[in-house]
Amino acid sequence: MAKGVDIAEVVLAARRVFAEEGYAGATLDAIATAAGLSRVTLHRHGLSKERLLGELAEVATNDYRDAMWPVLTGEGTGAQRLSRGLKALCDSAEKNLAVLMAVQGHTDAVFHETGAQDALTRSIFTEPLERLLRDGDADGSLRSVEPRETATVLFNLVGWTYLHLRTGHRWSPERARDAVVDLALNGLLAQT
């Protein structure tokens, strides 16, 4: 970047514009204005709407990974940790709500493995859930399931349903998180 162009500031400006306008409504002119720059300056530095959305998606991915780490390394049964993990997924989605809605409105390819016809969700998103499912199977607190496919279903069930309840139904973060996590988790608890 040339002197005077701070990529972090442009990314923050893009976040604000995507939050207000969505991906389709956001323009490079609006992002440039929000960043205090010209559209030509953004073009000169290779900062397109697509690239800025990609940068924001990377931030959201890192937030999710950071939120899952304490769950993976924490104590408790697999079921208890899966409950905390699904809540962490919702909390991470809440933190990045505008970005996720912009991604969903444009493309959700950032979440999918490429190449396969029946592609699963990228492992960076599902591996923490897979581990929790395996741990819960091992300690008997969760029923035995195919972990990779179930992790893909869980990530999508909880993540996208949470987003829909927050934005489409305008539920509070707590109400949406609790309702989705309760329903998803109860379908996985071991039968006693």
- Could you write out the DSSP letters of every residue in 42-108? HHHTT--HHHHHHHHHHHHHHHHHHHHHHHHHS-S-HHHHHHHHHHHHHHHHHHTHHHHHHHHHH--
Which of the listed ranges 83-87, 94-98, 106-110, 116-120 does the model predict with the highest average pLDDT? 83-87
Residue whose token pair is 């741990």: 135
With pLDDT > 70 as the criterion, what percentage of the chain qualifies? 88
pLDDT mean over 14-32: 89
Three-state DSSP class for residue 157: helix
User: How many CA atoms, within 13 angstroms, populate the side-chain half-sphere of residue 73?
Assistant: 6
Burial class (CB in 10 A: 0-12, 13-18, 19+), 163: buried
Q: What is the largest CA-CA distance in the chain?
A: 64
φ, ψ for residue 5, nearest 5 deg: -110, 110
What confidence tens digit (pLDDT) does each residue in 48-91 have? 988 898 888 888 889 999 999 999 999 999 999 999 999 999 99
Closest CA to 64 of 124, 150, 131, 134: 124
Residue 1: pLDDT band (50, 70, 90) is: very low
pTM metric for this prediction = 0.80
d(CA 139, CA 125): 23
